[in-house]
Amino acid sequence: MLLHNDTPTYIGTAGYKFDDWVGTFYPTRTFNEEMLGHYSKDKGLKFLELTFTFYTDPTVEITENIATNASEDLSLSVRLPKRFLKNPSSIFDANRVISGLEPVQDMVRCYFADFFYGFMPSRANLDHIAILRDRFGKDKPFFVELANRRWYKEKYIEELKNLGIGIVICDYPSTSGLAPYFVQHFGDNAYFRLYGNSPEWVSHDTRNLEYNYSEKELTKVMNDATKLGKTADKVFVSFCNSAKGYAPKNAMELKRMMRIDTREKTV
């Protein structure tokens, strides 16, 4: 966690275990079980989205290994399993996921659900989101990523605000037809997820995460995070441009820029 202008700011990536990060971000011949240590200790990134949870439920065994291998000051955000995006499921099912996270619960700062493009605004879907908030957001912030741009109308924004649900600020390619870059925070916290601007991502179904943010683009992210940080309790920033190790590279660059910005303002 970085204290930027007195606001706790969490900067990291969506996941950490990628083969093409070996030799670009991790040292050559890094084994899977060594990656989290390099990420959080050697490289000093202190925020991480657990994304494997989208595909498989966390178990105590898995999360015990995470707790053992991570730095003590690593903070986590948890991506909800994909079945919850189709159906809120049962309280028992939600509690099973939370129980699997028990060894890292003290590290978990929030939960988020990233809804696919086909998740359209409707009364039923607002109720769906509210149920997930009740299941996972009782004592931690809960965010939703809404890829379909139809959600970004005043009536839906206000309803989500009233429900106390945070909307993830997504930086998608402008050519993708997905949600706009909507810089607001809802409730007490702000959350950025940054996908980049790959020219290969030309529609909602042509996802491409090979993108390296420029210094100018990172400066804009910093300025936007600083603006929201004036009224938010916490700011989360996750780089999702995972191809070729660009995400951790950009996360470290942004962290460095924010540290310099903080020093300059206190001199």
User: pLDDT tens digits for 97-156?
Assistant: 999 999 999 999 999 999 999 999 999 999 999 999 999 988 899 999 999 999 999 999
With a cut of 70, say whether residue 208 has pLDDT above it. Answer: yes
Read off the amino acid at residue 142.
F
Q: Are 1 and 180 in contact (CB under 8 A)?
A: no
Predicted confidence at residue 262, as pLDDT, reads 55
| Tens digits of residue pLDDT in 178-192 | 999 989 877 789 999
On average, the pLDDT of the chain sits at: 91
Quick one: average pLDDT of 63-81?
Answer: 96
Band of the pLDDT at 266, cuts 50, 70, 90?
A: very low
Quick one: average pLDDT of 211-220?
Answer: 96
Spatial distance between the Cα atoms of 208 and 202, rounded to a whole number of angstroms = 9
Predicted confidence at residue 93, as pLDDT, reads 87
CATH superfamily for 2-266 is Protein of unknown function UPF0759 (3.20.20.410)
With a cut of 80, say whether residue 38 has pLDDT above it. Answer: yes
Both structure tokens of 148: 């379909």
Q: Are 149 and 178 in contact (CB under 8 A)?
A: yes
Sign of the dihedral through C-alpha 13, 16, 19, 24: positive
At 26 the three-state DSSP class reads strand
Tabulate helix, strand, coil % of the chain (nearest 5): 40, 20, 40
Q: Are 182 and 154 in contact (CB under 8 A)?
A: no
Q: Are 103 and 67 in contact (CB under 8 A)?
A: yes
Spatial distance between the Cα atoms of 209 and 216, rounded to a whole number of angstroms = 19
The helices-and-strands tally (H runs, E runs) of the chain is 8, 10
Band of the pLDDT at 261, cuts 50, 70, 90?
A: low
Predicted confidence at residue 201, as pLDDT, reads 87
The mean-pLDDT minimum among 2-6, 38-42, 46-50, 110-114 falls in 2-6
Delimit the domains of the chain by residue range.
Answer: 2-266
| Tens digits of residue pLDDT in 79-92 | 999 999 988 777 77
Quick one: average pLDDT of 227-249?
Answer: 94
| Close Cβ partners of 137 (under 8 Å, ≥ 6 residues apart) | 111, 164, 165
At 236 the three-state DSSP class reads strand
